[in-house]
Chain A
Amino acid sequence: MSFFEDPIKFLAGLLQDLLVSLNLHPIAITVINNIVGALIVSSVGLVIVIFLIWLERKLAARFQDRFGPNRAGPFGILQSFGDLSKLVLKEDVVPDAADKIPYNIAPILSIAAVVLVWAVVPFSVEWIGTDLNVGVLYIAAVGSFGILSVLMAGWASNNKYALLGAFRAVAQLISYEVPLIFALLIPVLLARSMGVNQIVGAQDIWYIFVVPVAFGIFFIASLAEIGRTPFDLLEAESEIVAGYHTEYSGMKFGMFMAGEFLHSLTLAVVTAALFLGGWRGPYVEQLPLLGPLYLFLKAGFVYFLIVWIRSSLPRIRIDHMLDITWKFLTPLSVVLLMAIALTDALLKEFGQINNTALYVGAMIAVNVVIALLALFAASRLNSRQRRQIKTFEPRPLAVPPKPAAPAAASTSEEASA
C-alpha cells in the first residue's frame, strides 16, 4: 500500500508499526491510536472554520456589492488570522454580577458540542472518526448540548438582553428540534441504519432526489438550529444588542463566534452526508483521497445556500418563527414520515423494493403530493388568519375622562382608606 492510494491508512499503519516497535501494552496502543484519531477529527473542523470565516465575509460582501476583506494576504485570505490575534490580545471583561462558573463553561461547551459531531462524520469510504451504530442519534443528542451553552451564557451573564436572547434561543432551538429529528428519521428509515457511514453507503441515489421534502425540512430546521438569518432572533442586534453573548468579550466571545461558524459548517457537512451522498462520487473507491473533496464540495454548496439566504431574507417575528415550526414543519414532517414509511412497506409487501425506478418514482410522487397539500393547507390557514386581523385604529394620545369615573374613584378611595 503506497501513500497515494490511501494516505490516512498509510500513516495509520506507520503509527501502528511505531507503537508496536516500542513494545507498548495493547491497550495503550489502542488508546494512543484513538487519541491521535480524535485529535485529527476534532481539529479538521476548527481549521476549516478559520478559512470559512474569510469565505463567508467575502461572499456576503459580494452579495452586497462590496469587496470584503482584501488587504491581508492575497485576496485578504489572512484576515482571519489578524482577527484571531486581535481577539487573543483583547482584555476579557467579566461582569461582577455574572454567575462565574456557568459563565466560563458556556463558551467551551458551545465549541465542544459541535466538535463532537465530527467524530461520526464519514470523510471517505473508510475514513471516519468512529463508525457508531447509533450515529444519527448521537448527532441529535450531542447537537442539543449547544442549546445548553446558549442558556447558560444568557442566564449566567445576569444581563436582561442576554437573558431575553437565551429565552428566545431556547424556544427556537427546541421547537425546531422536532421537525429536525423527524426529518433525520427519514434517511434512517430509507437506509435501515442509524450509522452515518451506512446511510452514505446506502445512497446509490442521493436522498435529496428520493425525498426532496425531507431535505427541505431538514435544511430549514437546521437554519434555525444554527440561528442564521432569517432565524437569528437569539442575537437580533437591532433589538437585544447581541443576545446571549452580550456580556462576553475577548477570546470567550471569539469562541461563541467560531462556534456559530463551526455549527453552520457542521450542519452543512451533516446535510451533505445524509442527503447529498456524502463522500460518494466518481472513482472514490479507487482513490479515497477524493472522498473529502466530494464531501466538502457538497457541504460547500449547502453552506453557499446558507450565506445566500442570510444575505437575502429579513429576520422573522418570534410568533411567526414558532408558527412555522409547530403549525407547518412539524405536522408536515410527521405526515411525510408516515407516508414514506407506508409507501416503503407497501412496496416491500408487493415485492417491488428492488425495482429502483418504481421505488424512486413512488417516493418522489408521495413527496410532491404531500408538499403541494401542505402548501395549499398553509395558504388556506394563512388567509384565514389574515381575515381575522382587524384594521388598525390609532389610539388617541390623550384619553378624555369617562363620565362613570366618579363612582369608580370613590370606591377606590374607600379601598385605599
Chain B
Amino acid sequence: MQDNWLFIGIAVVIAAMLPMLPIAAARILSPHRPNRLKNETYECGMETVGDTWVQFKVQYYVYALVFLIFDVEMIFLFPWAVAYDNLPLLGVIAGLVFIFLLLDGLAYAWRKGALEWS
C-alpha cells in the first residue's frame, strides 16, 4: 500500500518534469528579444484600458457555491458505493435518503433562481 503512494509521489515529480523539459529546451533554443511593444497586453491591436482584475458577474459565485455543496457530499457517497455488499437494506435506504436530500437542495436552488444565468 505504501508502495502505491510512493509511486504516486514519484509520478508527481515526473509529471511536473515532463512539461518542464520542452519549456527549458525552448528557452535555450529560441531567440529572446523582448521590447516594450511586444510585451504589451494583447487585445487585437487596441491599447488596453483600465484594470483587468475587475469585479465579475456574481452568478459565478452562486454556481460555485452550489457546486461546493455537491462536491463535498459526493465524496461521502464513494465509501457507501464501495461497501455496498456489506450494507443491509436499511443502510442502502439511509444512503438513498442522503442523496434525496441532496436532490431536494438542488430543487430548492433551482426554484429560488440560483441556477439562472441572467
Contact partners of B29 in chain A: CB under 8 A = 88-89
Which residues of chain A in 92-150 are interfacial with respect to chain B, using CB atoms and an 8 Å cutoff? Answer: 92-97, 107-108, 110-113, 115-116, 119, 129-134, 136-138
Q: Interface on chain B toward A: helix, strand, loop, or mixed SS?
A: helix
Task: Decide if B41 touches A178 in the complex (CB within 8 Å).
Answer: no
Task: Decide if A322 touches B63 in the complex (CB within 8 Å).
Answer: yes
**Cα of A345 to Cα of B18 in the assembled complex, Å:** 46
A274 to chain B, nearest CB (A): 13
Task: Decide if A171 touches B60 in the complex (CB within 8 Å).
Answer: yes
Q: Which of B18, B60, B92 has the most chain A CB atoms inside 10 A of its CB?
A: B18
Which residues of chain A in 75-96 are interfacial with respect to chain B, using CB atoms and an 8 Å cutoff? Answer: 87-96
> Cβ of A56 < 8 Å from any Cβ of B?
no
Contact partners of B10 in chain A: CB under 8 A = 31, 34-35, 38
A169 to chain B, nearest CB (A): 11
Task: Decide if A46 touches B18 in the complex (CB within 8 Å).
Answer: yes
Task: Decide if A247 touches B42 in the complex (CB within 8 Å).
Answer: yes
> Cβ of A292 < 8 Å from any Cβ of B?
no
Task: Decide if B6 touches A241 in the complex (CB within 8 Å).
Answer: no
Task: Decide if A107 touches B48 in the complex (CB within 8 Å).
Answer: no
Contacting residue for B52 out of A112, A158, A188, A345, CB 8 A = A158
Contacting residue for A250 out of B8, B14, B26, CB 8 A = B26
| Number of residues from A at the complex interface, CB < 8 A | 89
Chain B interface residue bracket vs A: 35 or more
**Cα of A251 to Cα of B20 in the assembled complex, Å:** 10
Contact partners of B33 in chain A: CB under 8 A = 91
Residues 91-118 of chain B, each 1 if its beta carbon lies under 8 Å from chain A, else 0:
0100110011011001000100001111
**Cα of A127 to Cα of B2 in the assembled complex, Å:** 19
Task: Decide if A322 touches B32 in the complex (CB within 8 Å).
Answer: no
A101 to chain B, nearest CB (A): 14
Instruction: For B38, give the chain A residue with the smallest CB separation.
Output: A93
Contact partners of B106 in chain A: CB under 8 A = 326, 330-331, 334
Contacting residue for A241 out of B42, B81, B116, CB 8 A = B42
Q: Which of A38, A43, A193, A338 has the most chain B CB atoms inside 10 A of its CB?
A: A38
Which residues of chain B in 8-22 are interfacial with respect to chain A, using CB atoms and an 8 Å cutoff? Answer: 8, 10-12, 14-16, 18-20, 22
Please report B residues at the A interface, Cβ cutoff 8 Å: 1, 3-4, 6-8, 10-12, 14-16, 18-20, 22-23, 25-27, 29-34, 36, 38-44, 48, 52-53, 56-57, 60, 63-64, 66-67, 70-71, 74-75, 77-78, 81-85, 87, 89, 92, 95-96, 99-100, 102-103, 106, 110, 115-118
Extra A-B contacts (17), CB below 8 Å, given A39-B14, A185-B81: A94-B34, A97-B40, A112-B12, A112-B16, A131-B4, A163-B56, A167-B56, A178-B70, A178-B74, A188-B78, A194-B78, A255-B19, A319-B117, A327-B110, A337-B99, A338-B100, A349-B89
